[in-house]
A and B are shown apart, each in its own frame.
Chain A
Amino acid sequence: MTNLNAVDPAAVAQDAHLEGADVVIGKNTIIFRRFMRNKTAVAGLAIFLALTVFSFVGGYFTQWDKETIDPFNIGMPPSAEHYLGTSQAGIDLYAMTVEGTRISILIGLIVGLVSVLVAAVYGCTMAYFGGKVDKVMLFILEALIMMPALLVVAVATSGGGEGLKRDLPSWLLLIIVLLVFSWMGTARLIRSLSMSLMQRDFVKASQYMGVPARRIVWRHLVPNIGSLLVLDITRGVTGAILAEVAFSFIGIGIKVPDVSLGVLIGGATSQVQTFPWMFWVPLTVMFLLTGSLAMMNDGLRDAFDPSSSSSGSAKKRALKTRVKGNAS
């Protein structure tokens, strides 16, 4: 201990040996294990994955597609030929559900992922620059929050045959509008979180060492807001799916001939007494989708929470190594 500058070759060798050994469980592993221990969350993940797979390959299990009219089966209940019956126009409901699920998942995933990305960039930029930039960007953000999104969606998707409406399918248009109005809350959260992280001593320590700003952002800020980002992605996906259904349900948003879960549910409301399956089938699918995401979100939150009561072998093991360390 007294000879400070000599390097003990044995220690270096020991270190090399330790590199490969599983001395410490990585944080990601702990999170993964905690998530996998949460049965509800795993069930949610399984349902969501199953629905996604279904929406892509489900079409191959039937000969019908969402455009072909079966003139002999109009408004029929489920049968061997039409698994989920047909609509009043004679279109196979199964084929439409598969298509609608795919569109809904697509909208959810794109909006969820991209809006969190936008929010992260916007929020971090605000926190990083601060001052005037922060003020102006916050103003824009609040102004966007103030805009009633629903009206803008309505205006954008019901334009009179010109502009965007003509060039883009309605689902893509909806994605764009939802994106514009979905990232502000997360951005504000990320801003305040990053700002408080910037004040933390370990960030200051890096600054005082002269570590460049971008490396601090990348190595300290991003990993520390990572859990929030993951949570917000699942929340964002749920939110986008719900928004699509809500908008399409009252007739703005996605318009026929494009199909989505919202369109199917909304279209069936008027005959819910006479053709109940037309209403309940897409509604069930929607519940499975949003419900599975909520279950996942719950499990993820618990897994990320350092004070989580979901203690398992991982935590105990960490404790054990600590005790061992003291003894040695």
Chain B
Amino acid sequence: MLRYLAKRGITYVFMIFLTTSAGYFLAVSSLKPALLEQERIPRPTPEQVANSMRLKGLDPDLSPWERYVEWLTAIVTRWDWGRSPNGAFINAEFGDRVWISTRLFLASIVLTLVIGVALGVYSAARQYKFQDRVITSYSYLAYIVPAPIAYFLVQLGAININETVGERIFFVTGISTPGLEPGWAQFIDMLAHYAVPTVAITLVGWGSYQIAQRQYLLDNVNADFVRTARAKGLTRNQAISRHALRVSFIPVAQSIAFTIPAIFAGGFFAEKIFAWPGVGSWSIDAISLQDVNAATATLAYGSVIFALGAILADFATTLVDPRVRVQ
């Protein structure tokens, strides 16, 4: 198993290297921070701009290949992902933001999965009944709404609640209110900040899990082994919950791992709309600021998350399906 994971790991490291390199070339050839600098007032001379860029390792006069070599050497030798045009160090900026993003998504990921799978099981058990139709229709509806618009609508709803009540119950933007004493007040404040984005991400996310879980369970409800279990003396419902359910988790477990990258990708939208300074909103801002290094770093981060998801998917499959266990 370990050898297998190691082998997969190496493949993914190679893939990440390729995607990141491709991303760097794309960024370096289309993002021109120097042009933005020149729009500053008072307008600096081209020499000044070039000088300041050179100091930050963003020399616009070098060819993309030369810059790539320089950039790569820094990463490989010093784990230094470079600097932004405004002089900030990527490494330093990155740490905080990864933590913020992770905090935002952790609760949503868990809720999405739990609610999605639970509703999938529930609706499969009531196939074609009213509850099933409502739940499944909702999931299909969630599929045709673009994520940012759904987030925005949830935000609007929260604002409406605030306005109806006449007091600020939910914070619809930001991560925390600065200057609060640690303790109960800060905890309530945290909840008020987390509630809206978490609800929004969960509401949009569970649909696909509900549909998948429902389908896989229905596929297994009439399986031969369920019949065997009933022939032993289990009731239909017992046989389904002890046997079919467990088997129907196999494909779901596989896809669960891929939610993580998917939610992080959806996270770009969530962070942007709820104004959380995480990796997602940072990367989009960085791109509009023509920040080559930050853009590449976030791209690499996205690839790493994806690779982790893929390895996790293998791992999860092995966990739930004895047939693929490697001796």
- Chain A residues packing against B (C-beta within 8 Å): 139, 142-143, 145-152, 154-156, 158-165, 238, 242-243, 245-246, 249-252, 262, 265, 269, 272, 283, 286-287, 290-291, 293-294
Contacts and interface: CB of A to CB of B under 8 A. Distances in A.
Size class of the B contact interface (CB-based, 8 Å): 35 or more
A155 B295 contact: yes
Which of A155, A161, A245 is the most central at the interface, judged by chain B CB atoms within 10 Å of its CB? A155
A266 B144 CA distance: 17
Interface in B120-174: 140, 143-149, 152, 156
B151 to A, nearest CB: 10
Q: Which 3 A-B pairs have the closest CB atoms?
A: A159-B30, A160-B32, A148-B302
Given A152-B23, A160-B31, A290 B144 contact: yes
A203 B34 CA distance: 60
Contacts of B18: 143
Contacts of A283: 149
B290 A151 contact: no
Nearest to A290: B144
Given A146-B307, A246-B269, A290-B144, A155 B287 contact: yes
A163 B35 contact: no
Given A146-B15, A151-B302, A160 B36 contact: yes
Given A151-B287, A161-B32, A246-B269, A146 B27 contact: no
14 contacts: A139-B15, A143-B15, A146-B15, A147-B22, A151-B23, A151-B268, A151-B298, A154-B287, A156-B30, A160-B36, A164-B30, A246-B149, A251-B288, A283-B149
Contact of B265 (A143, A150, A286): A150
Contacts of A163: 29-30
Contacts of B15: 139, 142-143, 146
Nearest to A283: B149
Which of A148, A242, A246, A290 is the most central at the interface, judged by chain B CB atoms within 10 Å of its CB? A148
B304 to A, nearest CB: 9
B26 interface: yes
Given A146-B306, A160-B36, A151 B30 contact: no
Nearest to A293: B144
A147 B144 contact: no
Nearest to A148: B302
A250 B273 contact: yes
Nearest to A140: B18
Chain B residues touching A, majority SS: helix
Contact of B152 (A142, A154, A156, A269): A269
B133 to A, nearest CB: 13
B84 to A, nearest CB: 15
B23 A250 contact: no
A294 B30 contact: no
B26 A155 contact: yes
Contacts of B307: 146
Contacts of A159: 30-32
A159 B265 CA distance: 21
A146 B144 contact: no
A250 B30 contact: no
Contacts of B265: 148-150
Contact of B30 (A142, A149, A165, A265): A165
Contact of B144 (A249, A252, A287): A287
A250 B268 contact: yes
Given A159-B32, A246-B269, A252-B287, 9 more contacts: A147-B299, A151-B268, A154-B284, A154-B287, A155-B27, A158-B287, A160-B32, A161-B32, A245-B146
A307 to B, nearest CB: 12
Contact of B306 (A145, A265, A272): A145
Contacts of A286: 146, 149
A148 B265 CA distance: 7
A145 B18 CA distance: 12
B272 interface: yes
B283 to A, nearest CB: 6
A150 B303 CA distance: 12
Contacts of A147: 19, 22-23, 299, 302-303
Given A143-B15, A146-B15, A146-B306, A156 B144 contact: no
Nearest to A265: B149
Which of B18, B26, B36, B146 is the most central at the interface, judged by chain A CB atoms within 10 Å of its CB? B146
Contacts of B30: 155-156, 159-160, 162-165
B251 to A, nearest CB: 14
A309 B18 CA distance: 47
A291 B22 CA distance: 36
A39 B327 CA distance: 53
B16 interface: yes
